[in-house]
Amino acid sequence: MGMTLSMEEKVQTATEAVIHAPATDETVTGRIVHAEDFDPLFAMPEEDCVEGFIKREMQRAGITEEQNLIPEDMLRRKNILNAILAVLLFVYISLFFFHFPMKTYVIGLIILVVYAFLTSRYQLIKYLKKEIRSRSQEKISNIVMNVKASMVPDYSKKLKWALMAVAVAGSLLLFSKPRIFYEQADDGYYVRFYVYGLTNMTTATIPDTYQGEKVVGLRGNTFSNMPFLSEVTLPDSITEIRGQAFKNCRSLERVTLPENLTYLGGEAFYRCSSLE
């Protein structure tokens, strides 16, 4: 059965081996060493040992983690991640105007929070560890000095907040008014989706034409899951209302149905508890 010896035990074993070595014709001279003669960093686990050397070299180079400095290539990566985070935030806020099921927003929020946490995790020591692993033939002191020479002021946090502000403002501006998405068919256009507007979340009016052609129907889930919608006006040109078109519109009180309506899909007004 193997046994792992500590640094002190290894030194003691080696010392005893020298003291009890058999006599020979040649005189062997040497100095007995003790555990305290070695750098204490060598007695640590490998990861702690490397980190200890890095901190020592950082101190010699005059680098502290409190400084607002960062390697240039890492700053570039952080800024790219911040830009992606801003795009994700823009998409997430925009989703609220599309009135998807609640689980969509919960999953989106989790993804957004996790990504935001990952983009904020940066430590100079971890960066130096990666550099040391990739440049294992170089001295740690040289790597630290090379990294120091490439360090620039870290403005990524300010840029991150600026991009997030632009994402929020851009989304609110884009959907300041309600939007209607259409789908072309042989006999005209169908309303594919109705999108909330920041200035109007309670009423909706569908026009009778789009790009010179009649609006002839509503696709499924056109107005579904809109908790603030209270009144909808539809043109007489509409002949079809597909299934679940108004599903879960709990505040919906009145809908003006078209005179030419010939088809009303299943559960078109499912859970419209306020409908009069």
Find the CATH number of the domain harbouring 247.
3.80.10.10
State the average pLDDT over residues 114-120: 81
**63 has a pLDDT exceeding 80:** no
Q: Is the pLDDT of residue 53 over 90?
A: no
Q: How confident is the model at residue 47 (pLDDT cuts 50, 70, 90)?
A: confident
Residues 211 and 167 reside in one and the same domain? no
194 domain-assigned = yes
Residues facing residue 209 across a β-bridge? 214
Does 169 share its domain with 125? yes
More confident residue, 262 or 26: 262
Does residue 25 have a pLDDT over 80?
Answer: no
Query: Do residue 230 and residue 198 come from a single domain?
Result: yes
How far is 172 from 272, CA to CA, in rounded Å? 28
pLDDT of residue 96: 87
CA angle 210, 230, 95 (to 5 degrees): 65
Indicate the burial class of 221 (C-beta count within 10 angstroms; 0-12, 13-18, 19 or more).
buried
Which residue is associated with the tokens 């507007």? 197
Tell me, yes or no, whether 95 and 57 share the same domain: yes
Q: Is residue 212 part of a domain?
A: yes
The pLDDT value recorded for residue 74 is 85
Do 66 and 158 fall within a single domain? yes
- Per-residue pLDDT band for 18 (boundaries 50, 70, 90) equals very low
Give yes or no for residue 110 having a pLDDT over 60: yes
Domain encompassing residue 235: 179-264
Residues 164 and 52 in one domain: yes
230 pLDDT higher than 80: yes
pLDDT of 206-227, one tens digit each?
A: 999 999 999 999 999 999 999 8
| pLDDT value for 137 | 80
Whether the predicted pLDDT of 272 surpasses 70: yes
| 144 lies in the same domain as 259 | no
Contact (CB, 8 A) for 201 and 230:
no
DSSP 8-state class, residue 197:
B
Residue 2 has pLDDT above 70, yes or no: no
Q: Does residue 124 share a domain with residue 95?
A: yes
270 inside domain: no
Q: Same domain, yes or no, for 158 and 79?
A: yes
* 269 belongs to a structural domain: no
Q: Which of 245, 233, 237 is nearest to 262 (CA)?
A: 237
Residue 232 lies in a domain: yes
> Which pLDDT band holds residue 50 (cuts at 50, 70, 90)?
confident
Instruction: Confirm whether 275 is domain-assigned.
Output: no
Same domain, 141 and 200: no
Domain end among 142, 159, 174? 174
Assess whether 128 and 153 both reside in one domain.
Answer: yes
168 and 183 fall within a common domain: no
> In the prediction, which pLDDT does 23 show?
52
Pair type for strands 213-218 and 254-256: unpaired
CB-based contacts of 254, cutoff 8 Å, min separation 6: 230, 231, 232, 275, 276
Q: Hey, how many other C-beta atoms are within 10 angstroms of the C-beta on 11?
A: 18
Mean residue pLDDT across the chain: 83
Domain ends where: 132, 148, 174? 174
Domain final residue, candidates 174, 205, 233: 174
Domain assignment of residue 142, yes or no: yes
Write down the pTM of the prediction: 0.69
Question: pLDDT band at 136, cuts 50/70/90?
Answer: confident
Asked whether residue 204 is domain-assigned, the answer is yes
In total, how many domains does the chain have? 3
Band of the pLDDT at 232, cuts 50, 70, 90?
Answer: very high
